[in-house]
C-alpha cells in the first residue's frame, strides 16, 4: 500500500437500545458514535479532513437519506468537509471503511472519520423483512421465496451445505450457543442478558421456533438499532502528532469482490467470488489464516459463520463444522472443555451479528472497531490473549458483496 492506514480511535452505541422508544433517530446515533470515536482518538475535530457513512436502507427504515450531512452535527468544525454514503446491503459498513482507507492510501486525506449506522426498529418484523429484501434480487427472488426472504435464502444455503457435507442442525446450534456465550462478556451486546443453552439452540420449541428449516430463531441475527465509528489516519499523520504505531491497529491487506445478485447464480456453498476477497486480503498482508489470533465474521445466520470459516481458509471446504465443534473458535472463557488442537482462533468474541446485534449498515464498522479493541487490548472480559493479527469479513446479500480486511499491531 502506498500510504499506511491506522485506526487512531473508535466508538459504538449500545445495541440493546430502541431508538424509537427513546424518541431518537438515526441522526442521533451517527452523532453519538462519531463523537465517541473522535474522543477516543484524542484529536481536535478540526484535524478530520473527510467523512464516510455506511448505511443500507435508511430511506425505507427511517425516511431519511443524505446521511453525510449529519457528520457536521458531530462537531461544528466538521462543517464543510467532503462526505460520502456507501451502500452494499450488509457490507455497507465495510465499504465505508475501505473508502476511507483508500482515500488515505491514495494521498487524498490523512484523517478520515468513518461511521456505520442503521435504525431498524421502526416497523413490524414483516415490513422490516421486506425492506431487508432489497439486499436480494427482490423482483425475481421475492416471488420465489415470499415473505421473510433472507431467512429462507440462508435456509436454502444451509440445506445445500447439509446435503453436500452431511452437517446437522445440532452443528449449526453450536455457532449460536457460542456467540450468545460470547455476548455475555460484551457490555454493549444486544443479547448480553439472554441465556441460550446448547439444548435449547439445538431443538425446535415454542421458545425457539423454526424460521426457515433448518434455521431456528436462535440461528438468526438480530433486528438492531446501532452505530459504530472509527478514525482512520495515515502513518505520516501518526508521526506528525507523535503517536506510537505499536499502540494502534494497522490495515495490512484487504479484498473486495462482487458476485451475481441472485443466489441461484452463485456457487453455494463454496462461494468462490467471496473467497477471492479473502485471498486478496491475505496476499496483500503477506499472511496466512494460521497467522491470525482472532476473527470477526458475518454470522447473519449460523450457517454463514460456518461458510465464512471456509471462505477465509480457517477450515477446508466441508470442514467448517469440525472447526466449531473442536472449540477452536470459542474464547477460552466460555469453552466447556479445554481445546487441545493445534489451531485456536476465537471468532466473534463480542457475540457476532447473532448476539451482539446486526444494525445492518453499522456491522462492518463495528467489526473493525472490535478488531481495534482486540489488537490494542481494550476488549475487557472478551479479550483474546496476545492478539496481534486479526481478520474481519463483512458481506452483503446472499454472499453478493464480500469485504475481507486483515489488521495487525506492530
Catalytic residues: 90, 358
Distance between CA atoms of residues 115 and 227, nearest Å: 7
Q: Pull the grid cell for residue 142.
A: 421475492
Alpha-carbon span 297 to 403, nearest angstrom: 10
Q: How many CA atoms lie within 13 A of 349 on its CB side?
A: 31
In sequence order, the 6+-apart residues with CB closer than 8 A to the CB of 250 are 4, 5, 6, 7, 407, 408, 409, 410
Round to whole Å and give the CA distance between 357 and 254: 24
Cβ atoms within 10 Å, residue 333: 15
- In angstroms, the CA 51 to CA 76 distance is 14
| Rounded Cα gap, residues 320 and 310, in angstroms | 6
Which residues, 6+ apart, have CB-to-CB distance to 170 below 8 Å? Answer: 202
Amino acid at each position: 500500500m502506498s500510504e499506511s492506514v491506522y485506526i487512531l480511535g473508535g466508538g459504538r452505541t449500545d445495541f440493546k437500545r430502541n431508538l424509537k422508544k427513546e424518541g431518537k433517530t438515526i441522526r442521533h446515533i451517527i452523532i453519538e458514535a462519531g463523537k465517541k470515536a473522535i474522543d477516543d482518538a484524542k484529536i481536535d475535530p478540526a484535524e478530520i479532513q473527510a467523512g464516510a457513512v455506511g448505511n443500507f436502507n435508511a430511506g425505507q427504515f427511517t425516511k431519511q437519506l443524505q446521511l453525510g450531512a449529519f457528520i457536521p452535527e458531530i462537531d461544528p468544525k466538521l462543517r464543510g468537509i467532503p462526505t460520502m454514503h456507501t451502500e452494499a446491503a450488509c457490507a455497507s459498513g465495510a465499504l465505508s471503511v475501505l473508502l476511507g482507507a483508500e482515500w488515505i492510501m491514495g494521498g487524498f486525506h490523512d484523517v478520515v472519520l468513518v461511521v456505520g449506522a442503521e435504525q431498524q426498529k421502526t416497523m413490524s418484523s414483516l415490513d422490516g423483512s421486506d425492506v431487508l429484501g432489497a439486499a436480494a434480487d427482490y423482483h425475481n427472488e421475492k416471488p420465489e421465496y415470499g415473505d421473510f426472504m433472507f431467512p429462507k435464502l440462508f435456509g436454502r444455503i444451509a440445506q445445500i451445505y447439509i446435503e453436500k457435507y452431511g452437517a446437522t442442525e445440532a452443528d449449526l446450534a453450536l455457532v449460536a450457543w457460542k456467540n450468545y456465550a460470547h455476548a455475555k462478556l460484551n457490555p454493549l451486546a444486544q443479547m448480553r442478558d439472554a441465556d441460550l443453552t446448547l439444548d435449547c439452540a439445538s431443538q425446535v420449541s415454542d421458545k425457539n421456533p423454526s424460521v426457515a428449516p433448518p434455521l431456528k430463531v436462535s440461528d438468526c441475527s438480530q433486528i438492531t438499532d446501532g452505530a459504530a465509528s472509527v478514525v482512520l489516519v495515515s502513518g505520516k499523520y501518526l508521526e506528525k502528532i507523535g503517536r506510537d504505531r505499536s499502540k494502534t491497529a494497522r490495515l495490512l491487506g484487504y479484498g473486495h469482490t462482487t458476485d451475481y445478485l441472485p443466489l441461484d447464480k452463485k456457487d453455494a456453498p463454496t462461494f468462490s467470488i467471496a473467497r477471492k476477497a479473502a485471498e486478496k486480503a491475505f496476499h496483500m498482508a503477506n499472511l496466512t489464516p494460521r497467522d491470525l489470533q482472532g476473527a470477526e465474521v458475518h454470522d447473519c445466520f449460523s450457517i454463514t459463520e460456518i461458510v465464512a470459516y471456509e471462505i477465509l481458509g480457517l477450515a477446508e471446504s466441508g470442514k467448517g463444522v469440525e472447526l466449531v465443534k473442536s472449540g477452536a473458535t470459542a474464547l477460552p472463557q466460555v469453552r466447556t472443555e479445554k481445546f487441545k488442537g493445534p489451531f485456536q482462533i476465537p471468532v466473534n468474541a463480542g457475540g457476532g451479528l447473532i448476539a451482539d446485534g446486526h444494525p445492518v449498515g453499522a456491522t462492518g464498522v463495528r467489526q473493525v472497531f472490535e478488531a481495534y479493541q482486540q489488537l490494542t487490548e481494550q476488549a475487557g472480559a472478551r479479550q483474546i490473549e496476545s492478539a496481534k493479527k486479526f481478520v474481519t469479513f463483512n458481506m452483503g446479500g446472499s454472499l453478493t458483496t464480500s469485504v475481507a480486511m486483515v489488521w495487525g499491531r506492530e
